[in-house]
Structure 1
Amino acid sequence: MNHTLHPDFAAQTQAVEDIIHNFDTTGTLFVKGRRNTIKTFQLGAITANVKAFRVPNLINTIAYRFFRKSKARRSYEYASVLLDKGIGTPQPIAYFENFGALGLKDSYYVSQHLSPDLTYRELVEVPSWPDHENILRQFTRFCFLLHEKGVEFKDHSPGNTLIVNNGNGTYSFFLVDLNRMAFHDSMGFDLRMENLKRLTPKEEMVRIMSNEYAKLYTKPEAEVFESLWHKTSEFQRKFWRKRRMKKKLKFWKR
């Protein structure tokens, strides 16, 4: 099994390898998803978060061997880039790739486990969340920082930003689920708004985000809102249309 370990964890190489080799039978289940499984493990004084990516289909098995980096490797490398840019994400520890005769079989991304106070999703689902508008405005400034540093987070959806309350009205933000990202020398206005369209279907939240983003950017607030709300509405329309189509096509499963 190929692997790369962060230099800061070199002294714990054997312990990390043991976690991966015993992944199926040990650890505490954190998320059991349709596609991936996440478990937590004690690693010395810290808790390690291990994401096991499912065995890819035959085409991707070959592609990940010869043409593309695995999701685990991308997650590790992108986390390192984010930290170098001063952008929050859990500390990367290692990635592992298990190759068979045809190509990639399974892979694992190991990072430090973070226990947030909330995610962006809570801001969407719980409008009465304490300090809601302040958190939303600070999150918008975090998004602006991403864009200024050329980071296009392609999975910029409600559950993928962890939020930690620092006290005294300030918050820290950490990106997770990192395997789909792009890095640019600069990001134009249209791409910036495109990158934010999946976050919330609520017009009142889009208005607050547009107001805060416009304070930092060279566009009037009305133009920011018009663009972001148009892209958000189109995304929601297509999302729910796709959901309805899937429901109709899978009627036989009822």
Structure 2
Amino acid sequence: MEEKKFEVNGKYDEEILINILKNFDKAGEYVVEPGRNEIKRFEINFENNLEKVSKKRKKHNKIDDFKKKKMINIKKFKQKDFITNFFYKFKGSKAKRSYEYAKKLLKYKIKTPEPIAYFDEFVNEDNKKNSYYISEELKYDFTCREVFWPEDIEEEKAKQGENYKINEEMERMLSKVEKNREKIIKQFAKFSFNLHENGVEFEDYSPGNVLIKDKSGNYDFYLVDLNRMKFNVKLNLNRRMKNVSRMMENEKIARIFANEYAKCYKQREEIVFRYLRYYIRKHKRYVYFKDITRPVRNVFKRKK
């Protein structure tokens, strides 16, 4: 029996999505510029399968509730070599895993942009095969990067000097984050604790992969880039802090996080912080090693 190569959320029209994928390279607007993968946004006429909706349901809803335009994001995964594709047959492609993991997260009431579809080995008009993951476009306020890495902004200011400029919207956002940083970190600690308590280990738990919506001082956290996750995992404190250690580097910020996480975990703050600090420092050494060896590794890549 041949493995199924796509799945579409029942609320969406399969034909509309297929037509968009056929023209992916020629249409849409880049969210992430071409690199290892590509992400583009498209506008679709979202029809909640109006023809399948019962007459009773139609009667109690306005037509505008069913017909509206919607922005979606489509992630096109880079084509893999033969060996990688062979292993994907056992664990599923990145596109398929992203879709299935998103559905699992939502069952746990862990937020992520709505999964719409995945397509594996989809042949476009140029007769090239690619895998795609389609989700709703989420209007978020900022990411964990702005919360946990304020030093990046300061470094950028110092580097550009008098030439440093940001638009008013960005300035308002950064000002709001600065004012509420501690509150956001504490709520994120509770979110992380809930994630771990549900047995979810997000292997790409990093600042850019957590989007944040400000709900009048209460913050909703959304996970993205989902293809590397484990479920039903028993996570001890050591593994929990290792999992979250890539999220931050500043030890003052780590202390705030550890304090709140310790309250949820019912453990002494010093113990939680000790584990977290150990893995933060270990990751810093790893990043430093990669940075100093990059020129050598690039030489070998070119030779290949």
- Give TM-score, length-normalised by structure 1: 0.91
How far, CA to CA, are the matches of 1:99 and 1:189 in structure 2? Answer: 42
Number of residues of Structure 1 aligned to a counterpart in Structure 2: 246
Per the alignment, residue 104 of structure 2 pairs with: 81
Per the alignment, residue 39 of structure 2 pairs with: 38
Per the alignment, residue 237 of structure 2 pairs with: 189
Within the candidate set 136, 142, 152, 1:118 is matched to 142
**Letter aligned with residue 83 of structure 1:** L
Residue 76 of structure 2 is aligned to residue 52 of structure 1: yes
**Letter aligned with residue 15 of structure 2:** Q
Task: Please report the RMSD computed on the Cα atoms of aligned residues, expressed in angstroms.
Answer: 1.9
Residue 187 of structure 2 is aligned to residue 138 of structure 1: yes
Per the alignment, residue 93 of structure 2 pairs with: 70
How far, CA to CA, are the matches of 1:132 and 1:93 in structure 2? Answer: 33
Tell me the alpha carbon deviations over residues 167-193 of structure 1, each in whole angstroms, 9 at most, x when there is no partner.
1x1010000000000012532111111
Aligned runs of 1:148-159 on 2, under 5 Å? 148-159=197-208
Tell me how far 1:216 sits from its aligned partner: 0.5
Per the alignment, residue 16 of structure 1 pairs with: 17
How far, CA to CA, are the matches of 1:151 and 1:67 in structure 2? Answer: 21
How far, CA to CA, are the matches of 1:41 and 1:145 in structure 2? Answer: 33
Task: Name stretches of at least 5 consecutive residues in structure 1 with no aligned partner.
Answer: none
State the structure with more CA Rg.
Answer: 2
Within the candidate set 4, 7, 10, 1:7 is matched to 10
**Letter aligned with residue 225 of structure 2:** D
Identity in percent: 40
**Letter aligned with residue 7 of structure 1:** G
Kept after mapping to 2: 8 A contact 1:94/1:109:
yes
Residue 289 of structure 2 is aligned to residue 241 of structure 1: yes
Tell me how far 1:118 sits from its aligned partner: 0.3
Runs of 4+ in structure 1 deviating by more than 4 angstroms, as ranges, are none
SS for the counterpart of 2:26 is coil
How far, CA to CA, are the matches of 2:286 and 2:116 in structure 1? Answer: 37
Tell me the alpha carbon deviations over residues 127-166 of structure 1, each in whole angstroms, 9 at most, x when there is no partner.
7623111111111111011001111000001100000011
- The structure in which a higher percent of residues are helix is 2
How far, CA to CA, are the matches of 1:27 and 1:121 in structure 2? Answer: 26
182-191 or 48-57, which moves further after superposition? 182-191
Tell me the alpha carbon deviations over residues 72-102 of structure 1, each in whole angstroms, 9 at most, x when there is no partner.
00000000000000000000000001179xx
SS for the counterpart of 1:229 is helix
Tell me how far 1:67 sits from its aligned partner: 2.3
Kept after mapping to 2: 8 A contact 1:87/1:146:
yes
Per the alignment, residue 92 of structure 1 pairs with: 115
Per the alignment, residue 230 of structure 1 pairs with: 278
Kept after mapping to 1: 8 A contact 2:95/2:120:
yes
How far, CA to CA, are the matches of 1:46 and 1:126 in structure 2? Answer: 33
Kept after mapping to 1: 8 A contact 2:149/2:250:
no
**Letter aligned with residue 140 of structure 1:** A
- The structure in which a higher percent of residues are strand is 1
Tell me how far 1:46 sits from its aligned partner: 1.3
Kept after mapping to 2: 8 A contact 1:56/1:106:
no
How far, CA to CA, are the matches of 1:70 and 1:182 in structure 2? Answer: 15
